[in-house]
Amino acid sequence: MHYDIIIIGAGHAGIEAGLAAARLGCRTAIFTQCLDAVANLPCNPSIGGTSKGHIVREIDALGGEMGKVADETTIQFRMLNLGKGPAVHSPRAQVDRRAYADTMKLRLEQQPNLHLIQGEVISVEPISNKPPSSFLGKELSPRATEEGSRSDAACGSQLPNGLWPHARRDELCSPETINPPHWSIQLLTGATYTAQCVILATGTFLRARVHIGEHNHQAGPDGLPAAMQLSESLKQLGIPLQRFKTGTPPRVNRRSIDFSQTTEQPGDEHPTPFSFLHEARSSKPQLLPREGAPAAAGEEGSRSDVTSSSHLRRDDSPSASPLGEVRPQARWGCTAAPAVSHPPAPQVPCHLTFTTEATKQVIQANLHRSPMYSGVIDGIGARYCPSIEDKIVRFADKDRHNIFIEPCGRHTNEMYLQGLSSSLPEDVQHQILATVPGLQHAQVMRPAYAIEYDCVNPLALRPTLEFRDRAGLFGAGQFNGSSGYEEAAAQGLMAGINAAHKILGREEFTLGRHEAYIGILIDDLVNKGTNEPYRMMTSRAEYRLLLRHDTADRRLTPHGHKLGLIDNTRFAQYEAKQAQIQQEKQRLASVRITWQGKSATLTELLRRPELDYTALAEHDPDRPNLPQEVITNIETDIKYEGYLKRQQAQVHEMLRLEHVPLPADIDYHAITALRIEARQKLVAARPETLGAASRISGVNPADVEILLLFLKKK
Amino acid sequence: MPSPTIAAIATAQAPGGIGVIRISGHAAFDIAQHLFSPKKPLDYSQLRHHTMAYGTLHDFPAATNQPPAQPSSNKPLGSFLGKELSPRATEEGSRSDAACISAFAHGYKIDDIICLLFPAPHSYTGEHVVEFQCHGGMAVMQRALQAVFSAGAQPAGPGEFTRRAYENGRLNLTQAEAVMQLIAATSEQAARAAQAAMGGALSQAIDQTRANLIALQAHISAWVDYPEEDIDALQSSEITHILNQAQQELHALIARAPRDNLMLQGINTALVGRPNVGKSSLLNVLAGYDRAIVTPTPGTTRDTVTETVQLGNLTLRLTDTAGIRATDDAIEAAGVQRSRAALAQADLILAVFDASQPLTTEDHDLLAQCDPARTVIVFNKSDLQQQTPRLLPREGAPAAAGEEGSRSDCDLAASPFTRVSISALQASGIDTLTQAIEQLLNTSSFNPNEAMLANQRQRDTATQALAAIEEALYAHESGYPLDAVSICIEDAITHLFALTGERTTDAVVDEVFARFCVGK
C-alpha cells in the first residue's frame, strides 16, 4: 500500500500533521499503536497556558484543529496573567480528557484523504537507491496517478479508483509521471507500507520505560505498550537519538478529597475561545457591563447558541456519553463556524492546596528510593517540570508548594494533582498525600510515574522539520525533544504542511521568530538544540509584544489561507474583522472630544494609562457596537504603540541577518577566524541563515561579523 | 584546517638586554624542536604545563644537517610587532644582518637562549606558544626570526596574537580591546588603566549591573510564565530600585568617559598666545619636564605641528597655533582658520600671556574665543615681574586701548578663568600649572583601576543600554504593565552583553530555573 505521507503516531503532533497533509490533498495515513489512545492527554487535562495558549491560537489561525476541539470540550476556562500586560495574557482550558480524544479521533476518521490505522511501526527504511539529494521535492515530477504507477505496482498495492474522492485538483498528472515511494515502513505484523514522506511523531513511546520508585518496566504512558524496535531502525539511518525523561503526578478519586480544606479556583466568567472561528459567538456585546453579565455561564452559553444547531451539549444530561455529544462534522472547511457553545456547559472548578512541612520530611526521608536520585534514570528531565522531590531538594528553603486539583473530565472522578509529579514508590506517594490538606485520605487511582524515552537531537532537523540528511523524513512533537501537547501540535502542523509541499513541489513554509511562537519553537529546536524537554515560555519570545494571542489571526490567517488550510468563508470572516478593526482605529483617530477642558482625539485619550475604551463610552455616543476581542485588540494596539514600534525596529534589525542565507556546504572548520567553539556549534546546527547562526549560544557577534565577511568574499 | 602558525619579535625594536620571539599555533612546538637544542633532553609530547629550557638556537634543523630553505638575509623582514617596519629600520636591519651573516656564515648557531613552552590551551593565545628569549641585538633577533619563518611560521599580522586569544576564548572582547589599548597607551596611567581593563575591571563592573538586571528579568519571567506557582509579585519599588541603580552605574560610567578618555588617549591641547609671549619656551620646558620624549609629528587631521609632552600623569598633545586676529593676508587667514578649529576641538587650551606686559586688544580677542571650562591662562615671564602680574594698563597708554584693556582686565579678574603664573625661562611654576590643569579637567580623581569605557564602541553600547534602562523606568513609572517594562530590560541586557562581545542567549531562562521553583 502506498501513501504520499505516512505519519507514525496519533498524538497531538501526528494529528495536526495528518490533518494538514490530507487537507492539502495528499493521501495520508496515520499509524498508531492503539486506536483507543488517539489524541490522548497522558499528563495534565488542560490545553493552553502561558505561551502555550498563544501556540494553540496560532495553530488555529493557520487552520489547525487543536483549538477548535479544545473549545468544544472545555470544562473550565481561565485567561491567565490578566493584569500582567496584554502580551502575556494566556488562555488556558481544562478539557474533558475523553471528550477531547473522542472528538479529535472522529475528526481524523471523517477527514477525506486520511487513513487512521492501528499498528506498531518497527522500521523505517529508504527504498530507493538514489542518493538523498535527488529526492529534493523540486526535482521530482508531480505525483503519479494511482493507475499505472510502476512503483505502486511493484509494491503490489494498486489503489482502486475513487478511493481518494478529494484528491488534490492542482496536480493532475500525465500517465508517464512517476512518483516513486521513497520510504518503506514495516509493522510489527510484517505488513509494509510505502510513502514519499514519513513524519516521525512517536511522542514518549520509543523504548519507553516507566519508573515508580525502585520498580521500572517497559511501557509508554497510561499503561500503553512501549515501541521497542523503531529506535534501532532510526539509529541505522544515522539519526542521532537522545534520552529524555518526564513525569506525571498521581490521579486520585474525587470522592476521597476533602474540598473544604482547599481553595476553589473557578473559571472565568467570560471565557475566550481558542479558535478565532468561535470568537464571534462567545463574545459579549461590549456595552454590557461586566457586573451585569448573566449569573450563570450556562445561561450565557445557551443563549449564544440559540441560532446555532440543536446539538447542544447540556450539562444536565449526565447520561449522554462524550461520543454521543460529538456533532457529526461536515467535511472540513465547509462550515464557517461549528455549532458549539463556549464553554459547552457550566464550568467545573479546580481546587488549590499545598504541601506542608510534613510533606518535606516524608520526601527527605525517602529520597534514596527515587530512581532520579539513586541514579537508575539516566534520561534528562526538564527543569520546568520538576518532580516534587526535585522541588524539595533544590528549593529547600521554600515552605510549601502549590498543588492544583484538576478534574480529568465531566464523567469521571479522576482528579489530576498538578505539582505532585514524582517517581517515588507508591507507598511514599500515599504518605505524601497524607500530609497535604484535603488529600489526607485521597485514594490513588493511578500512581505518579517518571518515564524515559528516546527522542531525536533536533539539530539534525531543518527549519521545515525535515531531516537535513534524510530527504522526505520529518520529525515532529515530543520526538523532536519538545514537551507539551501544544508544542507538539504546532510542530505536527508545520511538518505536515512541509511534507505536503515537498510532494506538491511547493515552497517550503517556515515562520519567523517575529511572526509566531511556532517560529520561535522550531528555530530554537533546530538551531540551538536542547538538552532537556523543551517548553515554550513567553520569555523565550523576544518580540512578544508583537505575538499577542489576540493577534494570532492577523499574523497567521493570511498564511493559512494562502496555504489552503483556511477556506474562503473563514477568510472572509477574518477580513471582515480586520476591516472592523481598521475602521474603528481610523474613527478613533479622527473623532475629537473635549476631555477635562481640552480637545483631544479618542486615540490620544486611549493612550493615557488611566483611560480605556469602556471609560470613554459616555463621551463617544456614536461608537459602533463591537465585539470585546476587537475592542481589546484596538485598545492594546493604541496603548502599546510606542513599544510595538520599538519591537518592530528590533525585528527590522534582526531580519537584516535573517535574509542572509548560509550555504549548506560551508566548511566552518576552514574559517579559521571563527572561534573554535563557534565552529563546532555551527557544524552541529548547520543554520540556514546568518540570523539563525547568530542565535546559537557560543556564536558571538564577532563570529557573525566574520561569517558576514566570509560570505562577502565568496 | 588549523590557523597557520605565526611568529613575531615580541619585544621593542631597539637594542636591549633580552629580546623575545613569540611563536603561536599548532606547529609552534615542531618549530621549536626543529631549531632549538636543549641542554637537557626535552620531550615535547609530554608537555602539560609551561616549561622552561636552556639551550642553543640554530638557524637550520639541528638534528638533520639540512641548511635553511632560504638564505635568511635575502628574505623580506615583513612586519614585527604588528607594525610595518620603516624603510630605515629595514635598511639598518639588513646592514647589521649582512654583517652578522658573515659572523655566523660557517656556524649555524644563532644564540644561547631560554626557550619557554606553553602547551595549548594554557597559553596567551590558547594555542601552543613558544617564546625564544635571545640576547637582544637587532641582528641576532632578526636572524632568529628568519629561522623561525624558514621553519614554517608566518609573520604575525597586527594584533594577531591578541585576536587569537580572543578567538580561542582566552580574553573577552573588552579584555582584548584593553590589550590594544595597552599597546597604544601614552602614559603610565593609561597603561595601568589598560591593565585594569585586561584584568576585567569593566567586565566586572558590567557583570554586576547585568546580573542585577537578569535577576530582575528572571523574576518577571517566572512570575509571568508560572502564574500558578506562588512566586512573589514584584514590588514596584523593587523594580524602580534595581533600574535606578543600573541607571546610576551606567550613567556614572558614561559621564566619566570623556575624562577617562583624556587619560587614556592624551589631552589635545591648544597652545595659544601672541608671538614672543613665551609659548616656545613653555613648550621646551614642558618637553623637558619629566624627561618626556618630544616627538614632533606632522598632524594628521590638521596641518599643524603637534608635540606630545608628559606633565605629571597627564599626556598633552600640544598644538602650537598661529595668532588669532583679523587679517587681510590670505596665508595668515588660513592659519587663523586652523587656529580657530584647534581652539574649538581642543580638550585643553593653554592661553599664554606675557606677565610683564599689559594685555593687548589681541589678547582680549583671543580670550573671548576660549572656553573657560577648558582654558588655563598662563602668565609667563613671572621672573621679570616679581609681584602680581600686571593686569592694569600702564599709564600713558593710548586711551582707546587703555579703556578697553581696563575693562577687560576687570572682566578677567572676575572671570571664571583658571590662571597661573610661571617662568618658562626659570622652569618655575610648572607644578602649579599641572595642578591647575588637573583641577580644571578633573583628572586628579582618575583611578586607573576603575571600570571605564575605553573606546567609541564601548561608549555607544553603554549609551544604548542606558537609554533602554531609562525607557524601562519610564514605562514602569507611567503605569505600563510589566510586559512593556520587560522588553526594555531585555534590550538593556542585550546591550550590556554586547559590551563584552557576548550574546544574551538563554541567560534569563536559565536564571528563572536556577532561582525559582516553577513547573507542574
Q: Do B168 and A670 make contact, defined as CB atoms within 8 angstroms?
A: no
Residues of A in contact with B168 (CB under 8 A): 675-676
Indicate if A435 and A530 belong to the same structural domain.
no
User: Average pLDDT, stretch A476-489?
Assistant: 97
Check residue A527 and report its DSSP letter. I
Q: Do A676 and B502 make contact, defined as CB atoms within 8 angstroms?
A: no
User: What's residue B474's pLDDT?
Assistant: 94
Residues of A in contact with B229 (CB under 8 A): 401-402
Indicate if B199 and B348 belong to the same structural domain.
no
Cis peptide bond prior to A126, omega within 30° of 0: no
Indicate if B330 and B411 belong to the same structural domain.
yes
Q: Do B484 and A85 make contact, defined as CB atoms within 8 angstroms?
A: yes
**In the structure, what pLDDT confidence band is assigned to residue A280 with cuts at 50, 70 and 90?**
low
Smallest Cβ–Cβ distance between A697 and the set B173, B505, B513 belongs to B505
Smallest Cβ–Cβ distance between A385 and the set B2, B169, B519 belongs to B519
The 10 Å Cβ neighbour count of residue A520 is: 26
- Comparing CA positions, the residue from A340, A351, A347 lying closest to residue A269 is A347
* pLDDT exceeds cutoff 50 at A563: yes
B499 → chain A, closest CA residue = A701
User: What's residue B229's pLDDT?
Assistant: 80
Indicate if B434 and B314 belong to the same structural domain.
yes
Q: Do A700 and B502 make contact, defined as CB atoms within 8 angstroms?
A: yes
Q: How far is B155 from chain A (nearest CA, A)?
A: 16
Residue at a domain's end among B378, B408, B441: B441
Indicate if A493 and A361 belong to the same structural domain.
no
Task: For residue range A392-438, list pLDDT tens digits in order.
Answer: 888 888 889 999 999 999 999 999 999 999 999 999 999 999 999 99
How many domains in chain A? 3
CATH of the domain at A388: 2.40.30.260
Indicate if A409 and A468 belong to the same structural domain.
no
- Comparing CA positions, the residue from A703, A712, A705 lying closest to residue A685 is A703
Indicate if A469 and A425 belong to the same structural domain.
no
Q: Looking only at Cα atoms, what is the longest distance across chain B?
A: 97
Lowest mean pLDDT among A22-26, B138-142, B408-412: B408-412
Residue A438's domain spans which residues? 251-261+349-447
Task: For residue range A5-48, list pLDDT tens digits in order.
Answer: 999 999 999 999 999 999 999 999 999 999 999 999 999 999 99
Indicate if B317 and B437 belong to the same structural domain.
yes
- Assess if residue B448 is contained within a domain: no
- Assess if residue B233 is contained within a domain: yes
Q: How far is B448 from chain A (nearest CA, A)?
A: 27
- Assess if residue A636 is contained within a domain: no
Which residue's C-alpha cell is 457529526?
A328
Q: Do B228 and A88 make contact, defined as CB atoms within 8 angstroms?
A: no
ipTM, 2 dp: 0.78
Residues of A in contact with B477 (CB under 8 A): none
Residue at a domain's end among A425, A447, A469: A447
Indicate if B240 and B303 belong to the same structural domain.
no
Indicate if A441 and A475 belong to the same structural domain.
no
Indicate if A491 and A370 belong to the same structural domain.
no
User: Average pLDDT, stretch B112-129?
Assistant: 88
Indicate if A440 and A510 belong to the same structural domain.
no
* pLDDT exceeds cutoff 70 at B437: yes
Residues of A in contact with B2 (CB under 8 A): 672
- Greater confidence (A454 vs B514) lies with A454
Q: Three-state DSSP class for B514? A: helix
Strands (DSSP E) contained in A333-392 are 350-354, 380-381
Smallest Cβ–Cβ distance between B224 and the set A538, A643, A697 belongs to A538
Indicate if A472 and A526 belong to the same structural domain.
yes
- Assess if residue A39 is contained within a domain: yes
How far is it, in rounded angstroms, from Cα B405 to Cα B393? 7
Q: How far is A96 from chain B (nearest CA, A)?
A: 19
Count, residues in chain A: 714
How far is it, in rounded angstroms, from Cα B377 to Cα B351? 5
**In the structure, what pLDDT confidence band is assigned to residue B514 with cuts at 50, 70 and 90?**
low
Indicate if B429 and B459 belong to the same structural domain.
no
- Assess if residue A98 is contained within a domain: no
A419 → chain B, closest CA residue = B520
User: What's residue B2's pLDDT?
Assistant: 65
- Assess if residue A502 is contained within a domain: yes
Torsion-angle region of A209 (φ positive above 0: left; ψ -120 to 50: alpha; else: beta):
beta
Residues of B in contact with A697 (CB under 8 A): 503, 505-506
Q: Is the dihedral of CA A254, A260, A261, A265 positive or negative?
A: positive
Beta pairing, strands A470-475 & A241-248: unpaired
Indicate if B36 and B136 belong to the same structural domain.
yes
**In the structure, what pLDDT confidence band is assigned to residue B195 with cuts at 50, 70 and 90?**
low
User: What's residue B372's pLDDT?
Assistant: 86
Main-chain phi, psi angles of A363, to 5 degrees? -65, -45
Main-chain phi, psi angles of A100, to 5 degrees? -60, -50
Buried b vs exposed e over B13-27: b needs ≥16 C-beta within 10 Å? beeeeebbbbbbbeb
**In the structure, what pLDDT confidence band is assigned to residue B447 with cuts at 50, 70 and 90?**
confident
- Assess if residue A576 is contained within a domain: no
User: What's residue A313's pLDDT?
Assistant: 35
Residue at a domain's end among A412, A447, A482: A447
Query: What share of chain A in percent tops pLDDT 90?
Result: 64
- Assess if residue B11 is contained within a domain: yes
Indicate if A257 and A397 belong to the same structural domain.
yes
How many domains in chain B? 3
User: What's residue B397's pLDDT?
Assistant: 36
- Assess if residue B104 is contained within a domain: yes
Indicate if A441 and A460 belong to the same structural domain.
no
In angstroms, what CA-CA distances link A699 with A411, A660, A691, A702?
Answer: 53, 16, 11, 8
User: Average pLDDT, stretch A609-621?
Assistant: 88
Smallest Cβ–Cβ distance between B503 and the set A44, A402, A700 belongs to A700
- Greater confidence (B280 vs A114) lies with A114
- Assess if residue A362 is contained within a domain: yes
Indicate if B426 and B286 belong to the same structural domain.
yes
Indicate if A433 and A474 belong to the same structural domain.
no
How far is it, in rounded angstroms, from Cα B94 to Cα A401? 79
Q: Do B224 and A650 make contact, defined as CB atoms within 8 angstroms?
A: no
Indicate if A12 and A116 belong to the same structural domain.
yes
Indicate if B213 and B65 belong to the same structural domain.
no
Beta pairing, strands B83-84 & B51-58: unpaired
Residue B197's domain spans which residues? 188-256+453-515
CATH of the domain at B325: 3.40.50.300
- Assess if residue B193 is contained within a domain: yes
Q: What is the per-residue DSSP string for B138-196?
A: HHHHHHHHHHHHHTT-EEPPTTHHHHHHHHTTSS-HHHHHHHHHHHT--SHHHHHHHHH
Q: Do B519 and A394 make contact, defined as CB atoms within 8 angstroms?
A: no
Mutate to test the interface with A, among B172, B214, B225 (most CBs of A within 10 A): B225
User: What's residue A303's pLDDT?
Assistant: 34
CATH of the domain at B110: 3.30.1360.120
User: What's residue B188's pLDDT?
Assistant: 64
Task: For residue range B50-106, list pLDDT tens digits in order.
Answer: 888 898 888 764 444 444 443 333 333 333 333 333 333 333 334 344 433 433 433
B493 → chain A, closest CA residue = A542
Indicate if B288 and B433 belong to the same structural domain.
yes
Residues of B in contact with A384 (CB under 8 A): 513, 518-519
Q: How many CB pairs under 8 A join A and B?
A: 136
Smallest Cβ–Cβ distance between B1 and the set A87, A647, A672 belongs to A672
CATH of the domain at A36: 3.50.50.60
Q: If residue A630 lies in a helix (H) or strand (E), which one and from where to where?
A: helix A628-639
- Assess if residue A359 is contained within a domain: yes
- Assess if residue B394 is contained within a domain: yes
Q: Do A50 and B227 make contact, defined as CB atoms within 8 angstroms?
A: yes
Indicate if B194 and B303 belong to the same structural domain.
no
Q: Do A395 and B475 make contact, defined as CB atoms within 8 angstroms?
A: no
Q: Do B512 and A402 make contact, defined as CB atoms within 8 angstroms?
A: no
User: What's residue B506's pLDDT?
Assistant: 67
- Greater confidence (A545 vs B193) lies with A545
Q: Do B221 and A537 make contact, defined as CB atoms within 8 angstroms?
A: yes
- Assess if residue B210 is contained within a domain: yes
Smallest Cβ–Cβ distance between B517 and the set A391, A697, A702 belongs to A391
For B36-136, where are the alpha helices, taking DSSP H only? 87-104
- Assess if residue A703 is contained within a domain: yes
Indicate if B195 and B83 belong to the same structural domain.
no
- Assess if residue B264 is contained within a domain: no
Smallest Cβ–Cβ distance between B224 and the set A84, A395, A673 belongs to A84
Q: How far is B458 from chain A (nearest CA, A)?
A: 14
Q: Do A675 and B169 make contact, defined as CB atoms within 8 angstroms?
A: yes
Instruction: Report whether B37 contacts B147 (CB < 8 A).
Output: no
